[in-house]
Every structure is written in structure tokens, then in C-alpha cells.
Amino acid sequence: MRGGAVVQDIGGTSVKYNQRSDKIAPMSVRGGIALQPVEGATLAVDADRGTARVGAEYQVAAPLALRAGAQKEFGGSGTGWLFTMGLGLRYRFLRLDYAYEHHPVLPATHHLAMAMSYNPALITIKNALVRPTPVFKSFYREYEENDFIDVELKNAAASPLPVTVSIDVPTLTKTEEQVIVPPQTTQRYSFHMTFPPDLLTSEGAGYDNLVQPTVKVSYTRDKATKVTTKKLDNVYILGKNKMSWADPTCAAAFVTPDDEAVDKFARQTVAAYSTLLNEKFGHNNIGKAVAVFDAIGAYGVRYQQDHNTPYEKIAGANSGFATISYPSELLTSKIGDCDDCMVLYASLLSNLNIETALLDVNDPEFGHVYTMFDTGIPPERVADHFLDDKEFVNWEGRIWLPVETTMFGQSFSDAWRNGVEEYYKRKARGFIHEPSFSEAAKTYKPGVVKPADVKLPDRADVDKILDRDVAYFDARVDQIALGSGVSLDASEGLYDAGAAYLRMNHLDKALGMFDRAIEKDPGLADAYNAKGVVLTQRRQYEEALKLYQKALALNPSDAGIRLNIVLTYHLQGRRDEALREYQQLKQADPETAGRVAYLFGEAGPAAPPAEESGDLVKQMSADNAYNEGASYLQLNALDKAMAALDRAVGLNPDLADAYNAKGVLLTRQRQYEEAVKMVQKAIALAPEDAGFRWNLVILYHLQGKRAEAETEYKKVVEIDKSYEGRADFLKGTTP
């Protein structure tokens, strides 16, 4: 409903002539209301001091309107009702109106009017822009989650207008959305796009196209549909295999771990070698990565430079477009450039839940891409798996192996050695970057491509390559286990070697070393206990229990041995025996017993108060940092070891082991005075640790301080008699 009023001739209207004034029109007031009960129909009433009027109009269709009305004058001069009726016709810019008027006194009157008018559109498209340019079909999932096109609309009407915006990007997609444009404003609207499911699988998916997008806006006014259209600037639509190295992370759009061919190749390969991988590589990711790499080579995938868009030529030119095969396509063609090989290997490992990262070498001398994967090995355990700190990459607190993926067909060990050498060479020059594929995939999600029919290579073909790698890693295991000064002439050295084999999950070699240790020293309780651990892992529980009992008889105070007995009984389902041993363990060492209290429905050690939880986290972090430093120290990576040990004492200033390890490190660097300070700090925190004091004896000896060395040695022997006879060197000359 609308209302209005008008005042005319305020104060009256007069005219003057020959100094005479006459009022020819008195002031008049006129008011009225209009109502629209249904769409297309309007009722109106107005009145002034002497006349009342009523009228109606109905828009039958867009070009036709019917009208009727009546008028009545009041007062002494009133002449009765005046009735009218008529119609209006409109076609584009031409308008025709007819009215019939029935006067109470005068004869009927016919009114006919024709008008031509310029009526501009109420909605106009001021501007429109496709945001990504060029458009890559391979990134369609990223486009679906972000604004793809901006359209600027102007509404010249006095009321809001609902409009339909239709967007057509040829060879790519079409979409249609409804918006309401406020009155007499210009608004910018941003639209997402939905892409057809066959975008990457249709016949023309691989073609590049130069297209002209179109924006069409339609709305209804007076029951007529109005349409306005705007053609946009041409846009390049690049085929499904295209990308730009301006943003290397977009390569994640080609890493397809859920692809059927990828899933089949990765899962069946690992399943075929599961027993071997568990025996030779344990529970880290290296074994799976080895098997998959060697299977790719046996399958026949080979590197061949893409002569159209070689990476090393376009890496420095951000405007260049690369062509990348999806993994299923490479498994079909078996020939690919470095980027093709990289995304295939990353996809296969990602399918096995192994995190991977892109290694982007953007060196002016040499452009290249390959990959590295997370080994799953904790930083504090690197010494159990590596001979040198340049064999792996400690990145974001995890241990990664770079692999040269252009070497499919050769052994994994060769690809690893080449990959890590290349990494450190380019890293030193500052020309290598390591974006994580899992992080990149949050933006560039892979699309769906045609499935490929993949037949796995014959096992014999895989074995030809894999056997070389297994032999290589076996030899490395021996180097690691028997290195670091281990003496196989002493029972302790044999035990240490066996423990190293056990940590690396080489159980047969571990058993052999433990047997030799027991042969040399039948009273070595740790060796019996360690043999029991091996047999427990093999589910030979009865034999394991016998070994634990033997170890406990030799060392009744060792809570760790009794804990192993509790766990073994539990694994056998012998609850009564497990509970009996648990009660004895709880009396001897409540803290150790608390680790398995949950097995018997009891609470473990009391949780720290809330205000102490932060300290507990710091202590755990300090222990991890110490273990990492000790591992690097074993690898003689002294800078990395010192950095980790500094973190450890920063988190826990009372961590005596960390100060002692810093002393050992400084001793290797011949900084004896600083080393003495560190070891003395460790002794102050743990005065009964004979090992710390023994290190101080060595330091005094190296400094030529014989008297101090002899005095400290006496304290060592008082604490631990096993050190007797070890200081004969003090009787010799000063070093």
C-alpha cells in the first residue's frame, strides 16, 4: 500500500489587471492511497474538497493492461457519476492507450493515445571478471571452494530486483544463481562454480582452449522477462595435464593416493612382501618405500625428459606451463619426465599413509623435482638406522629420506644415495624447497581421472632389484650394530650388538649375539632377558618365560625383568600368574608396576596436578631432545648434537645426562676445560653416577692432571667396583 497528498495554489492564486486583483483559484488539497492486492492488480482512491475518484488496473499479460474508474463531484454543482474504462497495449518501445468515458451530461468520449519511448534496462552488467587466469582444469576442486568469477550489477529501479545470473565458460562449466540487487545501487557479486564430474575424463579433457565466457542476467518486470548479456575477455582453459611451476605446491593436484590403479599397485606390492619387510625393516616406513620403488622399476616405468616442457628449462620461467601425467596415466605409458615420476611415487607412498614432500630444486644451474618421505623414525633413534647425519634430512622434527625418482629401474639404495647427496648440495646453495604434499593438498585437491588397468610385475622381476636392496640394508645393519667401538671379544660388546639388532628388529642376528654373550658370560642376566624379549615377539611364550626366570634368578632386583614376566603371562591369558607376578612387582617397584596397572583394573601412578602438567610436558620434551642429541653424538654430528643437548638443558636444567653428553662432545672437540665444567655439573646433579665420574677421570688425564685423575678414580671405584683395574693408563706418562 502507498499513500500520498498534494497541496496546490497555497494561499490561492490571483491575477491583476488595471490595478484590479481577482482570485481565480482557491487553495486545494488532494490525497489518495493505492493498494496492490495481488501481483499485476492495482486499486487507487483519491479525493479533494469537491471530487472523489476510484480506479483499478489489471495487467492481464506483459503487453496488455485493463483499466476502469469512476468520478463523483459533490456540492451544489454536482452532476452525478462519470465512468471510464479502457485498455493499454505495449510492444517493445511502442505504447497504445484507449479509454471510453461516459459523462452524465455530455455525450460519450473516446480517448486514443500512442507513444514511443526509450526505456533503458533496469539491470545492467557493469563489469565481469574470471579470477584465475589462465584456468587449469586440473585445479577444478580448488576453484569449487573459492570465488571463481566476479560480476558487477547495477539496479536503476526504485525497488529491489531478484535476478538470475547465468555464467557460461565454454569447454569448462555452466552455472546459474539467484541474487537480489538493492534499489538504485551497483553491487559486486562473487560466484563459486560447480564443475561436471567428467571434467578430467571427457574426450576433450586434455585439450587447451581459448574461450570467451558469457554472463547473462535475467529478471521479470511487469510480467515480462528482461535479459541483458555481456561477453567477457577471452580466457585460456588449459587441459587436464597442465600446471605452472610459479606455485610448486599445485603439483599436489596430481598426487592421487585414492586412485584405483595406485591403490592396487601400492597395497598388493606391500602385501606380497609383508613378512620380508617386517623381518628386515621393522616398523618404520623404509621397507615399504623400498618395495614400492623396486616394484615400479620392475613394472617398467622409466624416466625420459619431456622435450616439449622439460622441467629444467621452465623451472625459472614462472610463465611456462608444465605437462604432468597423472599416476594412472604413467602406469599406462611407463614413460615420464621427472615431475611425472615424482607424483607417481608420492601417490603410491601416500596411499600407504606415508607422508611425502616435494623437493623443488630451483637452482639457476639445474632445475629439478623429486620427492622425500617420512621414515617414521624418531630423531632420537637415528643412530639405530644411519651411519652419518648426511644420510637423512631432519625436517620439521622428523626424519625424511630424499629419493631420486628419475632412477626407477635401479635399486632404491642407489636412488636414496643420489637423492640425499643432491639435497645437501642444493640446500647449501639455498636452492631447494620442501613443501609438504599433505599440506598442499588442503588447497590443491586431486581430481578424478580415468581408471587404468594395472597388472603388477612378476615377483621374480621385483626380486632381482629388491634382493640387492635387502643385501645392502643387511650390510648396513651389521655396520650399525657392530660399530661405535663394540668389541665382540667381550660379553658386554656382544650384548650391545644384540641389543642394536633387536632395536632394528633383526631378531635372528640379535639371538645369535645374545647366545654368544651368554657363552662368554653365563651370568649375564641382561642377555637372558633380551633373548626372552625376542622369543616373546615371536610368540614363543613358554621358552621366553624360562629365559626371564633365569635372568631374574641372576638379578632378582631388576624390575624390568619381572615386568616382562607379567606381560608374557598376560599375553598367554594366564591371569592368575600375571596377577601374582604383578603383586610382587608392585612391592618391589611401584613405579614400574604402575605401567601395567591398567591390565588389572587398577590406576597407575597418580597424574600430576594440573599446575604441574606443563612441567611434565617440558620434562618429556627434554628427554626427547637428549635422546636426539645422544643419537647425533653417536653419529659424530657434533653441531646437531650440541643444538639438541642445549634444548634439553634449556627445558630441564636438572637433566644430568645432558650435561654429561655435552662434556663428551666438548672432549671430542678438545675443549677440555669446558668439558670438565659440564661433567662436574652432571656429577653435582647425580653424585652417585660412576659413569660421570669416570668421564672426569679421563678428562683430567687428557689435561695432564694426574693427581686430580687419581683422586677422582678412587671415588669411582668406591661407587662401582667393576671399574677396578681400568685406570692403568694413569700410571703411564702424561698424554
pLDDT digits (tens, 9 = 90+) for 430-470: 899 999 999 999 999 999 999 899 999 999 999 999 999 99
179: left (phi over 0), alpha (psi -120 to 50) or beta: beta
* Mean pLDDT on 311-334: 75
Name 402's bridge partners: 372
Alpha-carbon span 495 to 487, nearest angstrom: 10
* Mean pLDDT on 147-166: 94
Cell of 580: 601374582
Place of cell 581430481: 447
21-25, 318-322, 416-420, 557-561: least confident range: 318-322
Cell of 289: 618405500
Q: Give residue-wise pLDDT tens across range 340-382.
A: 999 999 999 999 999 999 999 987 777 899 999 999 999 988 9
Statement: the pTM of the whole predicted model exceeds 0.75: no
By the 8 A CB rule, do 30 and 13 touch? no
If one compares 294 and 653, the residue with the highest pLDDT of the two is: 294
Residue 603 CB neighbours (<10 A) = 9
- Report pLDDT for 485: 60
Q: Is the pLDDT of residue 484 over 80?
A: no
Local confidence band at 618 (pLDDT 50, 70, 90 cut-offs): low
Alpha-carbon span 494 to 487, nearest angstrom: 7
If one compares 731 and 512, the residue with the highest pLDDT of the two is: 512
Tell me whether residue 386 is exposed, middle or buried, using C-beta atoms within 10 angstroms of its C-beta: 0 to 12, 13 to 18, 19 or more: buried
Q: Give residue-wise pLDDT tens across range 43-81.
A: 999 988 788 899 999 988 868 899 999 998 877 666 788
Going along 122-213, which residue ranges are E strands? 123-130, 135-136, 149-155, 161-169, 173-181, 185-191, 209-211
Torsion angles phi and psi, residue 125, rounded to 5: -95, 105
By the 8 A CB rule, do 483 and 501 touch? no
CA atoms within 13 A on the CB side of 327: 31
Residue % of the chain over a pLDDT of 70: 93
Alpha-carbon span 367 to 361, nearest angstrom: 5
Look over the chain and give the mean of its residue pLDDT values, rounded to a whole number.
Answer: 88
* Mean pLDDT on 382-398: 92
- Strand, helix or coil for residue 81: strand
Alpha-carbon span 579 to 150, nearest angstrom: 71
Burial state string for 3-38 with b = 16 or more CB within 10 A and e = fewer than 16: eeeeeeeeeeeeeeeeeeeeeeeeeeeeebeeeeee
- Report pLDDT for 532: 94
| 3-class SS letters over 189-228 | EEECCCCCCCCCCCCCCCCCEEECCEEEEEEEECCEEEEE
How distant, in Å, are the alpha carbons of 214, 505, 536 from that of 515?
81, 17, 16
Of 178, 175, 216, 211, which is closest to residue 196 (Cα–Cα)? 175
* Mean pLDDT on 566-589: 91
Local confidence band at 562 (pLDDT 50, 70, 90 cut-offs): very high
Cell of 101: 468515458
Q: Is the pLDDT of residue 219 over 90?
A: yes
By the 8 A CB rule, do 310 and 244 touch? no
- Report pLDDT for 604: 59
44-48, 386-390, 509-513, 610-614: least confident range: 610-614
Estimate the crossing angle of helix 286-299 against helix 338-351, to 10 degrees: 130
90-104, 496-510, 514-528, 718-732: least confident range: 718-732
How distant, in Å, are the alpha carbons of 333, 416, 493 from that of 403?
22, 5, 35
